[in-house]
Amino acid sequence: MEKGKKEALSVLSMAANPNLCQMMPNLKLVLNANFPSDVVSDILYQLPVKTLVRFRCVSKRWCSQIDGPDFIKLQLNHSLATQTNLNVILKKWYLYMVEFESLQTAIELSAPLKVIWGITEVFGSCNGLVAVCNSENEMALWNPSTKKSQRLPFEPVEHPGGVELRRFAFYGFGRDPISEDYKVVRMVQFVAQDDEGDLVGDDEDGFFYAEVKVYSLKSNSWRKINDLPYYVRFLFQLNYLLFYRRGYGVYACGAVHWVASVGFGLYMIVAFDLGVDKFQNVPLPGKVDNGFEMDVGVLEGRLCVILNYRHVYVDIWVMKEYGVKESWTKLFKVSADSSLKRPLGHIVPLAYSKSGDKVLLAVEKRKLFWYNIRKRRAEKVRIEGAPKSFGADFYVESLVPVGRDGMDQRRRQQPQGEMKKSYRKRTDDFLSKGFKLTL
């Protein structure tokens, strides 16, 4: 078996080089050699996604194996466990990608939503899928590695009417761990305006209305969430929306999280559980100093909070056991004298270095810095081809299907009888809607 693995690895290493593939017309015949399936699989899932996409053309057997749900999970889990195949999306007027391992050269991405004026926003990523939007009604899920995407069906926002209102949208994206579905949360809050056009505060006489709808990739449809908890109204913070996340939630542990300001320097973490489609309140760290501004983030898959003390220093806490207040642990502190050369504004930790002694920070949606935890020193990351300032988000390369690929895969897994029923239903719907007979 070890000999077979070595032979297969040798062949696959040659095939991974596109120049060599062009120089050797008979390489495809070599790749079709009858290596044991488990040997091939053990080697394939460790390769980059762009190589796997190319290897789909080798043979029907390889294509079926690479497209299979078990292999897709194997490749994704290996990348997450080894922290390989990680990329950073740089967000400005256009979207760019840079490999996390090198952080050297930015490559412009072709986003699935095209705009003439304005920009395409990234509001979340999970397991290689990236959620993008231009407005409340123009959104898509996109796999940059396979270049496949799925536009979300149009879903109108229901205006309450009767009052002059401004609306603000909150978004979230993540994976439902129960049904293994991917979901988008869209929450639109309406805020009243006075005669001069100023926003009216939410008090006993104020007006508040929110609409929450959830999109399911499996069903390709939206559904409305009713019975919203009272604390949803505290999510609206105009300054926070304009200068920080603009309402984009953070996905961790099966839920999407936002910061809610109760007032008087008090905060809440509002979470939407994608498994049960309900809001919940996540407990905060117990022993912390007063006088901070709070933000949420995710570090190595765990929920973290960023406590900013008047732009002088920032404490980073992580919740090691989700939902357990006592599991909050302080990771490190970033001070103003850490060579960032600026007041400590909006700081978000993105990832640890492989050695674990440094953490990559996104600072004020403008630059990336490596922060040495032990030495408490920061070093700016210089990326060739990147815009002068940018926001940042992480995604892992994966083969997770989306759009037509995902539908084709679900059809292959669907029993033949159910496929026929589904086809008959679609035909009946078409006939009933497409033809209106007058007798």
The domain that holds 126 is classified in CATH as 2.120.10
Q: Is the domain of 44 the same as that of 149?
A: no
Q: Is the domain of 141 the same as that of 115?
A: yes
Q: Is the domain of 92 the same as that of 62?
A: no
Q: Could you say which of 67, 93, 122 is where a domain stops? A: 67
Q: Is the domain of 63 the same as that of 84?
A: no
Radius of gyration of the chain (CA): 24
Q: Tell me: pLDDT of 123 over 90.
A: yes
Per the CB < 8 A criterion, the answer to whether 193 and 200 are in contact is: yes
Dihedral sign from CA coordinates of 333, 337, 341, 343:
positive
Range list of β-strands (E), 219-354: 221-225, 250-252, 255-263, 266-273, 278-282, 293-299, 302-309, 313-319, 328-335, 347-352
Q: Is the domain of 233 the same as that of 376?
A: yes
Question: DSSP string of 363-390?
Answer: ETTTEEEEEETTTTEEEE---BT--SS-
- On whether residue 406 sits in a domain, the answer given is no
Taking the whole predicted model, whether its pTM rises above 0.85 is answered as: no
Domain count, the chain: 2
- On whether residue 203 sits in a domain, the answer given is yes
- On whether residue 403 sits in a domain, the answer given is no
Q: Is the domain of 234 the same as that of 372?
A: yes
Q: Is the domain of 304 the same as that of 255?
A: yes
- On whether residue 110 sits in a domain, the answer given is yes
For 1, 123, 133, 222, 249, the CA distances from 137, given in Å and listed in that order, are 54, 14, 8, 12, 18
CA distance 352 to 372: 10
- On whether residue 172 sits in a domain, the answer given is yes
Question: DSSP string of 14-42?
Answer: HHT-HHHHHH-TTHHHHHTS---HHHHHH
Q: Is the domain of 57 the same as that of 90?
A: no
Tens digits of residue pLDDT in 184-234:
999 998 887 665 555 565 544 456 788 999 999 999 999 999 989 988 888
The tokens of 273 are what?
A: 């559980």
CA distance 139 to 421: 30
Mean confidence (pLDDT) of the chain: 80
- On whether residue 106 sits in a domain, the answer given is yes
Q: Is the domain of 210 the same as that of 357?
A: yes
User: Highest mean pLDDT: which of 24-33, 161-170, 266-275, 343-352?
Assistant: 266-275
Residue with tokens 């105009």: 238
* Lowest pLDDT segment from 305-309, 311-315, 398-402: 311-315
Instruction: Give the containing element (helix H, strand E) for 215.
Output: strand 208-216
- On whether residue 404 sits in a domain, the answer given is no
Q: Which domain holds residue 223?
A: 80-396
Q: Is the domain of 370 the same as that of 345?
A: yes
Confidence of residue 15 (pLDDT cuts 50, 70, 90): low
CA distance 8 to 2: 10
